[in-house]
Chain A
Amino acid sequence: MEKIPILRMGPFLLVTIQIDLYDRLALNLEADLVQMVNKTGARGVLIDISAVSIVDSFMGRIIGNIASMSKILDAETVVVGMQPAVAITLIELGLPLKGVHTALNVEKGMELLKSKIGPEEESDDDGDAD
């Protein structure tokens, strides 16, 4: 089955969504990501949606779920690269991306995450100390 790759970048996980997701794929991604956050002790999740042209309530809910479950595991979620047309549409639709930070691109998202977890934790590797 198709799968969306999850990259590990230091204390963060990066997912780049390249296609408009089928529901099953999106649900798998949610499960995989949460599992991966748990396993690696990642402190942040970056979801790059710059190639996504439609975010409906289903997709929005999945992103929100990822964020709230990651939060429980002590990781922040940042959505990066949202197309302006998508952002405008989401506001009109009335979809609140609760607990989700947004940033212009991956670099900015990364900076945001680093500032969230605080400088003392950036470089060490005790992520799975519990």
Chain B
Amino acid sequence: MVTLTKDRMMILKDQDVVPFRNRVKEYAVRIGMGLVNQTKLITAASELVRNMLRYAQQGEVFIEVVTQGRENGVRLTFVDKGPGIPDIELAMKDGYSTHRSMGLGLPGTKRLVNEFEIRSKVGEGTVITILKWKNG
């Protein structure tokens, strides 16, 4: 997989969510991603920045356009220095929430994208990477 462009955005407050979604949309449109896949990608991205703001107060997102073979895609990497997730398997379960919320952000996001990777260390932070192929 080759990275064609790389962009980054700091997420510090609620008001950053909409501009961030717009930025992701720009890249998705640029590679010709269809509306349904765009909507899935942006919704997934929205869930993850919300988690970032809620659980880690702030963070940073890397936005890449990647290519593999003939397929292009958008890859997003969410990096925060928040509390980390003690039990990832549990956090990935539908309905699991430490904040009496719906607990569908992480499992739902995973369903919406083609690749989903999560790394987390308690006391250090969380890194989540998602990838959506143009025709994925």
Contacts and interface: CB of A to CB of B under 8 A. Distances in A.
Nearest to A93: B108
A94 B107 contact: yes
A95 B17 CA distance: 19
Interface string B95-113: 0000001101101110110
B111 A92 contact: yes
- Among A24, A94, A95, the most chain B Cβ lie within 10 Å of the Cβ of A94
A20 interface: yes
A57 B102 contact: yes
A5 to B, nearest CB: 20
A89 B36 contact: yes
B46 interface: yes
Given A57-B102, A85-B36, A94 B108 contact: yes
Nearest to B14: A23
B46 A93 contact: no
A114 interface: no
Nearest to A55: B43
Nearest to B42: A54
Contacts of A58: 46, 50
A127 to B, nearest CB: 33
B43 A89 contact: yes
A95 B14 contact: no
Contact of B18 (A20, A61, A83): A20
Contacts of B109: 93
A12 B99 CA distance: 34
A24 B53 CA distance: 14
B105 A24 contact: no
A24 B39 CA distance: 22
Contacts of B108: 57, 92-95
Given A54-B39, A57-B102, A57-B105, 9 more contacts: A20-B18, A23-B15, A54-B46, A55-B43, A57-B101, A84-B36, A93-B43, A93-B47, A94-B104
